[in-house]
Amino acid sequence: MEMVREHRKYVVPEIITGDDARIYAGRYASNFHSNTVLLATDESIFRQKWMREILQGLDEAGTEYVVFSDIEENPPRDYNVMAGADVYLSEECTGILAIGGGSVLDCAKGIGIVAANGGTILDYVGVDQVRNPMPPLICVPTTAGSAADVSQYAVIRNADKKAKNIIISKSLVPDVSLLDTVPLMTQPKDVTVNSGIDALTHAIEAYVSNGASHLSDMMALESITLSAGFFPFSVDRADDPDSRFQSLMASMYAGIAFSNAGLGLIHAMSHAIGGLYDLPPMELPVQS
């Protein structure tokens, strides 16, 4: 592995991994002095049985929550972010708990930016345009691909221009990511495959990026090794907790790698095409 001696920055959130890691959401909300959190999620996820332990944890921590689930996908629309920021401010929230896939996590980041900085979310498109730090952000990802829960990236759709816009800032690194196998078991099978390909692409693009460093290379290579262990994806293995956890770790390693090293041509093309045609980051035909 080549050592890069040019200057490199490397940021990661606090990360807890393992079965039932989600139960720490309440404790972290309390640690962050978030008396009321905006619970960004989607309706189907909010109805999952495993959500009960999260809500119970918030209750035990004395933290109120306000649900915001008006979030579209691939990626969240700019107006979803603005609606969420309105709820955040009007309900006087003091933190965000994001539980969902990449769109939910990106929307939560957008809400945090607008709540702390005002204006519209499109004002912050680009690199290092976010002046004030976001409110505390706790993430529980329910898919293993976007890795928004460990990255300094957010992708927001400019609805008028039909374009995926990218916001990059250290402020967007969540405070804590709770990587739990249990919510991941509810990830739909086609999403499992598309997300897995997305994660593998993150790792490869980060490894060959000009912005790579020794630290990001270690993460990228570990991610590729893990992905190789469960490729080619079999939808039959989607119910195996060990495979799911492995895919979650592969996604996390790839996310840390690309968050710090940057991405490449495949994502540049997928953002342009996906923005125009409203498509997910990566998509493969899935046979069930």
Residues at the interface with Fe ion (CB under 5 A)? 198, 281
218: amino acid identity, one letter: M
Do the Cβ atoms of 15 and 177 come closer than 8 Å?
yes
Name the residue number minimizing CB distance to Fe ion: 281
Asked if residue 285 has a cis previous peptide bond (ω within 30° of 0), the answer is no
The DSSP line for 163-178 is EEEEEE-GGGS-SEEE
Q: Which two tokens stand for residue 211?
A: 């912005």
51 vs 166, beta carbon nearer Fe ion: 166
Least distance from Fe ion to the Cβ atom of residue 62, Å: 37
Tokens in use for 240? 């195996």
CB of 134 to Fe ion, least distance (A): 21
**Closer residue to Fe ion (CB): 85 or 155:** 155
Nearer to Fe ion, 38 or 173 (CB): 173
* Minimum distance from residue 154 beta carbon to Fe ion (Å): 12
- The SS3 call for residue 232 is coil
Task: Check: CB of residue 247 under 8 Å from CB of residue 162.
Answer: no
Name which of 140 and 203 has its Cβ closer to Fe ion.
Answer: 203
Is the four-CA dihedral 239, 242, 245, 247 of positive or negative sign?
negative
Q: Specify the residue, 54 or 197, whose C-beta has the smaller distance to Fe ion.
A: 197
Least distance between Fe ion and beta carbon 280 (Å)? 9
Cβ 261 to Fe ion, closest distance in Å? 13
| Contact (Cβ atoms closer than 8 angstroms) between residue 141 and residue 177 | yes
Cα(34)–Cα(163) distance, integer angstroms:
34
Smallest separation (angstroms) from Fe ion to the CB of 102: 8
| 93 or 147: CB nearest Fe ion | 147
